[in-house]
Amino acid sequence: MAHLVLASSSPRRRELLTQLGLAFDIFSPDIDESVRAHEHVADYVERLSLQKAEAVQAHFPDSVIIAADTSLGVDGVILGKPISKQHAFEMWQQISGRTHDVYSGVCVRTKDKIYSIVVRTQVEFQTLTVQDMEDYWATGEPVGKAGAYAIQGIAARYIPRIEGSYSNVVGLPLHETVELLKTVKVLN
């Protein structure tokens, strides 16, 4: 089997990829994750996954690289990770009582080929009270999470429904990742 490298330091992506029964190494690239002017969230996550894969391929030229990036989109605005409690509250006010999109860009790259896909999942969030936000922030879970929440954690209590891939919202759409790995013959 080909040597696999996950281009991410995300513990959630590591856990998800481990569910597939694959052996892999981890190498987290240092790339500029700034959003470009007027960049749609789908384009943003695809661009970052491609850049991550390219950066890691330079270190592991004979390996199969798996790279991903996940972000939320609301009204055409990309919601990244919160930089403060106030920022998290602002994000929650944007998604409270409505449905938002979670996009992941996934890239599987070898020295000869590049395959990528963007996966979208719609997530419905209940209306949050200020007390809900205070209580959730106090758990520490929102820190370092796109949109300031973790669907696989305490935030599940605020999400009555999703449409699409659950693992996409966590950070790596497994079905689509498997399909990409099949194209490079890592999986049958």
Q: Between these two residues, 75 and 125, which has the higher pLDDT value? A: 125
Residue 65 has pLDDT above 90, yes or no: yes
Residue 114 phi, psi dihedral angles, 5° rounding: -135, 125
Given this model, what pLDDT does residue 181 score? 96
Given this model, what pLDDT does residue 80 score? 87
Structural domains in the chain, CATH included, are 4-183 (3.90.950.10)
Who's near 141: CB < 8 A, 6+ residues apart?
149, 150, 153, 154, 155
**95-107 pLDDT tens trace:** 999 999 999 999 9
Q: Binning pLDDT at 50, 70 and 90, where does residue 42 land?
A: very high
Residue 1 has pLDDT above 80, yes or no: no
25 is catalytic: no
DSSP letter, residue 11: H
What percent of the chain lies above the pLDDT cut of 90? 93
Given this model, what pLDDT does residue 186 score? 87
For residues 123-129, average pLDDT = 98
Residue 28 has pLDDT above 90, yes or no: yes
Candidate list 30, 43, 62, 69, residue with the active-site label: 69
Given this model, what pLDDT does residue 188 score? 79
pTM assigned to the model = 0.93
Instruction: Using CB atoms within 10 Å of the CB of residue 169, give its burial: 0 to 12 exposed, 13 to 18 middle, 19+ buried.
Output: buried
Given this model, what pLDDT does residue 97 score? 98
